[in-house]
Chain A
Amino acid sequence: MKVSLLFLAVGFVLVLLQTTLLHLVPFGPFVPDLALVLCVYLGLNHPTVGAVIGTFMLGYSVDVFSSPVLGLNAFALSLVFITAYLSSRAIWVHSPLLSASVVFLASWVKGASLMLVWATFLTMDRYGFGTVKYILIDALLAAVLAPALFALLNRGQNYLERVRMPEEME
């Protein structure tokens, strides 16, 4: 329960950061996608039904503040969660390089799923090399920040689980 509350609070703070302070980072239209990093972390290290609901809510929150169409980010982040969860069965993410790689790939899943929904339902525009470049930069940004955020989340999760264990033993 405490761990779930931790992730809920982190999600809230990340959306807050993404809508305010992170826009000060001079990356043009790009804003580091920390929400995506959190979803990947949840898929890899905390795969519960609560995490699925949290991921959906996180995507929905991003939609509320960003997207003209509700549900787009909720859809994309849910797919990211599934990808991370399925990959967690095959790989053990134990190093910063691996976590960055998984987030990089997850960012492509998110970008591709957004494009797919746009192209299928919402627009007649075609996507070309420029879009691929856009997704690449977004993915690189998220991947660079992933190890640090993974380390922080891991530390928080471990701390809360350590606190819980003695209580359970009593």
Chain B
Amino acid sequence: MLSFLRRNQVLFSAFLSVLVSLYIIAPAAKGQHRSDPIGPLLIAVMRPLQSGIQASVIGIREFFMNYAALRGVATENDRLKTRVRELEGEKSRLLEEEATNKRLRELMEFRSEWAPKSMTASVIANSASAYFHSLIIDKGKNDGVERGMAVISALGVVGQVVAVTSRNAKVLLVTDPHSGVDAMDQRSRGRGIVSGSLENGPVMKYVKRSEDLKEGDRLVTSGLDGVFPKGLMIGTISKVNKKSVGLFQYIEVSLAVDPERVEEVLVVRGVPPEIKD
């Protein structure tokens, strides 16, 4: 018996590691969160290296961009692209404010509630797997970051904090299949959940067939998920497909922000009082 075990010790230990993995996964299946004693240590060890590499990459990228700037064209092009994106974001914000004002909502007060409670953070690492879309940022518990906080950029929604260590936080991006942002169509006010998918990129789920959503419509956060402030740009609808059967429409979304490319983000500290109520 002992020799049999010894002969197959690799196989037994491999099966044991499969069982241990399932034991670690199990709480998530019940919607619970297991504390992770090893993760923070690993992130702490990796952090200086990742920050260094990320800084080098940005430095090299900027060097080449500056070199190109000598030729003038690229800089002008980038400036105009940035300006267009800013104007797109601005237009979206203004449209949303106008729509909300019509419904006697106090969007400006809302914004002033959450803006001072936010902090900027830099991205130090990306996801290590194609099946998951996440970031590691350089702010953690010590800076006031908590699990469940919203992460946004100047152009719109980026993701949500799912794990925090003392000096870092893991952000689940809106492009991840396990993410979900309560969204609404800015024009028709139709609601659904924007989430990533491995099938065709980001999609809007659970939109009733009766809702009038069209390609090109802007999608903004509804604020009803208690995570993201209302009116933040998510993206535009790139495809609407009302299948012959089923309760819901199939909607593909083109995101306003490419979360995989952001370098700095805004972490929103806490939910505005209106949403808490």
Q: 8 Å CB contacts to A: which residues of B1-32?
A: 9-11, 13-15, 17-18, 20-26, 28-29
Residues B9 and A82 in contact, CB atoms below 8 Å apart: no
> Are A82 and B129 in contact, with the CB atoms below 8 A?
no
Q: Which A146-169 residues sit within 8 Å CB-CB of chain B? A: none
CB distance from B270 to the nearest CB of A (A): 21
Contacts of A55 in B (CB 8 A): 14, 17
Told that A19-B50, A122-B178 touch, could you supply 9 new A-B pairs with CB distance under 8 A? A15-B46, A18-B128, A20-B126, A24-B57, A73-B129, A75-B18, A75-B21, A78-B17, A129-B199
Q: Nearest residue in A to B10 (C-beta to C-beta)?
A: A47
What residues of A have a CB within 8 angstroms of the CB of B15 in the complex? Answer: 82
A67 at the interface (CB under 8 A from B): yes
**B53 lies within 8 A of chain A by Cβ:** yes
Least CB separation from A58: chain B residue: B128
Number of B residues, CB within 8 Å of A: 52
6 A-B contacts (beta carbon < 8 Å): A21-B53, A64-B38, A64-B39, A74-B24, A127-B199, A134-B199
A29/B133 contact (C-beta < 8 A), A52-B14, A82-B18 known:
yes
B42 within 8 A of A: yes
User: Given A33-B130, A60-B38, A64-B39, A85 and B10 touching (CB < 8 A)?
Assistant: yes
Q: A64 to B43, Cβ gap below 8 A?
A: yes
Nearest-CB residue, chain B, relative to A80 = B14
Contacts A19-B128, A20-B125, A35-B128 given; does A130 touch B200 at CB 8 Å: yes
For the complex of A and B, 4 pairs with smallest distance between CB atoms: A130-B199, A71-B24, A75-B21, A121-B29
CB distance from B146 to the nearest CB of A (A): 16
Of the candidates A30, A59, A86, A130, the one whose C-beta lies within 8 Å of that of B21 is A59
Other-chain contact of B198, A65, A74, A134 (Cβ < 8 Å): A134
Check: B170 CB closer than 8 A to any chain A CB.
Answer: yes
The reply on B127 being an interface residue by CB < 8 A is yes
Assembly CA distance A86 to B54 (angstroms):
39
Residues of chain A lying within 8 A (CB to CB) of residue B177: 118, 123, 125
Chain A residue at smallest Cβ distance from B45: A12
Asked if A41 is at the interface of the complex by the 8 Å CB criterion, the answer is: no
CB of B97 closer than 8 Å to a CB of A: no
Q: Is B127 a contact of A66 with CB atoms below 8 Å?
A: yes
CB distance from A167 to the nearest CB of B (A): 26
Say whether A79 faces chain B, with CB atoms less than 8 Å apart. yes
* A34-64 CB contacts (< 8 Å) to partner B: 35, 47-49, 51-53, 55-56, 59-62, 64
